Amino acid sequence: MAETCKTPDGSDVWTFGLTQNMTIVLVSILGFLPITIILLGPKLVFYIGGTLGYYLRKKTAGRKAQILELVETEEKAYAAAGENKRDSDDWENVEAYATGTANNGETADREWAGIVGFFHPFCNAGGGGERVLWAAIRATQKRWPNAKCVVYTGDHDVDKAAILARVKKTFNIHLHAPTVTFLYLTTRSWVLASSWPHFTLLGQSIGSLVLAWDAFSLLPPDIFVDTVGYAFALAFSKILFRDVPTGAYVHYPTISTDMLKSLDANSATGSQGVNAGKGGGAGGAAKKIYWQLFAKLYSAVGASIDVVMTNSTWTQEHINALWGEWRLELKKPAATAVFPPVAVEELEKEVEVSEASEMKRENVLLYIAQFRPEKNHKLILSAFAEFMATKTPATKGAKLVLVGSVRDDGDSKRVYELRLLANELQVKESVEFKLDASWPEILDELRRASVGVNGMWNEHFGIGVVEYQAAGLISVVHNSGGPKRDIVTTIDGEPTGFHATTSTEFAEGFEQALSLPNKLAMRLRARRSAKRFTEEEFARGWIVQMEKLVVLKRLRDP
């Protein structure tokens, strides 16, 4: 049932409370939804779903009116206080990016004033995915000043002012506050991996359906966009609201062909990832079958989404491989790569790359990444210890600095384990941890570091790696995913960094990067390479795709 609760500042926020029995029933229904569609038939399922969607819209009509009234009130207050500076950025003229059209040539007008729902339950996490969310909202605000951006989040411990303040502090992204609304979810635990110790992929997908129902019970949007990776939630939206266009920004496929291959210890990827080589025996065979079945279900779900964006060439290819055939049958466009926004211009202004600044650089290896298991900090620590053991001239005064946000107790535990590992490897004195660093602190690290490091296998993109390049750092990155395919590439036939896979290869990469006779030349090439990933380029790509959704909404409205 619907209820209100208090944010830290004492204001009311809307949540949706589920009793235990209601939750069990709902999860059971949602869990068997694919089978239900097959047995009952799509038409009956969509009829039932449409009836539920109609009920949700009627039920939330009052809340929608309150939200619109609140937006109008805040707009007037901002105007009266002279704080309306939404058009102060250098790339404020977004009309030139408005190239998306429908098949009949219609375009999305600038005066569209609908509600865009952004499904991002962990919006306050402070990672690269969150930078995409906030940059997308800013681009949407600039293209459609009258649109309302609603963020569905589970961050109950922070209010709107605190979230937007962190966005400004962490990413230097300034949002127009009146048209941003936060709706607080109560069922976020359903998408945590810890809630599903077995059949995690399927469990989290079912959990995303529960979370989506929670969101729609608060407010059904005019356009529904997922910026995390919950494709099942988008498909569920289609069942409830046939007229609501859906969009996905995919950072990483929930399952990929590389994941399936990694189960085989004899395959090229059999030594990579958290499930490497686990396809042996009866249990491994069962996991293979489970993953293959899930991949088919994931493909069917992805076919329902109207517009699909990916953050890299690697992700685009995997999504098209999984979803492409299904989407072609439904006459949906293939996924489009829209590289995520990086503060390239600001880094160029804030971090000098010249003969003079070269004298200020230290033998510092910098790794910017959230403290998550897949970021493979242990590999980098081991490689650093191996590098330091060589005692070459390049190791003199060398330090490894690990910068990242800590989201929860799990991340805190990982940081503790990394500290213990650094001690065991006898490099404790040469390793620094910078937790939840502010943007100015990150800039300081980028100014003094010489090398940027990334250790994740199949990193979907690698915003941190682009930041390294924009700041003139020499990158030593994993030989896979976005860092290999899109970022650390050649410029005019010359390298902008190094690739590695094993700890020994990383150690050799550290040695090569710190021993270059002309580091400045590579730094300047890296900076030139980073210009492909500016915030303006992201805004351009995002608006083109969003226009397609706005046009679809206009065409579907009665």
Q: Is residue 278 scored above 70 in pLDDT?
A: no
Q: Is residue 486 scored above 80 in pLDDT?
A: yes
Answer yes or no: are the C-beta atoms of 210 and 27 closer than 8 Å: yes
Of the candidate ranges 154-158, 270-274, 419-423, the one whose mean pLDDT is the lowest: 270-274
Tens of pLDDT, residues 364-411: 999 999 898 889 999 999 999 999 999 999 999 999 999 998 888 889
Task: Calculate what percentage of the chain has a pLDDT beyond 90.
Answer: 66
Beta strands 246-250 and 307-310: pairing type?
parallel
Q: Tokens 């989407």 — which residue?
A: 327
Q: Is residue 426 scored above 80 in pLDDT?
A: yes
Return mean pLDDT, the chain: 87
Q: Report residue 267's pLDDT band, with 50, 70 and 90 as the boundaries.
A: low
Separation in Å, CA 404 to CA 148, 166, 197: 31, 15, 26
Mean pLDDT score, 291-306? 91
Q: Report residue 113's pLDDT band, with 50, 70 and 90 as the boundaries.
A: very high
Mapped onto helix, strand or coil, the DSSP state of residue 22 is helix
Of the candidate ranges 128-132, 165-169, 264-268, 449-453, the one whose mean pLDDT is the lowest: 264-268
What integer pLDDT is reported at residue 363 of this predicted model?
96
What integer pLDDT is reported at residue 76 of this predicted model?
92
Q: Is residue 175 scored above 90 in pLDDT?
A: yes
Domain locations in the chain as residue ranges:
1-85+113-251, 252-339, 344-533
Q: Is residue 296 scored above 50 in pLDDT?
A: yes
Enumerate residues 6+ apart whose C-beta is below 8 A from 131: 171, 173, 340, 341, 342, 463
Phi-psi region at 456: left, alpha or beta (left = phi > 0; alpha = psi -120 to 50): beta
Per-residue H/E/C for 153-220: ECCCCCCHHHHHHHHHHHHCCCCCHHHEEEEECCCHHHHCHHHCCCCHHHHHHHHHHHHHHHHHHHCC
Of the candidate ranges 128-142, 278-292, 297-311, 518-532, the one whose mean pLDDT is the lowest: 278-292
Comparing 556 with 246, the larger pLDDT belongs to: 246
Q: What is the pTM of this model?
A: 0.79
What integer pLDDT is reported at residue 460 of this predicted model?
86
Mean pLDDT score, 278-286? 71
What integer pLDDT is reported at residue 553 of this predicted model?
95
Mean pLDDT score, 44-65? 93
Tens of pLDDT, residues 311-366: 999 999 999 999 999 899 999 999 999 999 988 998 999 999 999 999 999 999 99
What integer pLDDT is reported at residue 248 of this predicted model?
98
Tens of pLDDT, residues 76-106: 998 888 765 554 444 444 444 544 444 445 6
Enumerate residues 6+ apart whose C-beta is below 8 A from 510: 365, 383, 384, 387, 394, 398, 451, 453, 476
Q: Report residue 252's pLDDT band, with 50, 70 and 90 as the boundaries.
A: confident
What's the rounded Cα separation, in Å, for the pair 477 and 504?
13
Topology given in CATH for the domain delimited by 344-533: Rossmann fold (3.40.50)
Enumerate residues 6+ apart whose C-beta is below 8 A from 256: 318, 322, 458
Comparing 73 with 279, the larger pLDDT belongs to: 73
What integer pLDDT is reported at residue 7 of this predicted model?
43
What integer pLDDT is reported at residue 459 of this predicted model?
87
Neighbour-count burial for 373-396, b at 16+ CB within 10 Å, e otherwise: eebbbbbbbbbbbbbbeeeeebbe
What's the rounded Cα separation, in Å, for the pair 439 and 457?
26
Q: Report residue 216's pLDDT band, with 50, 70 and 90 as the boundaries.
A: very high
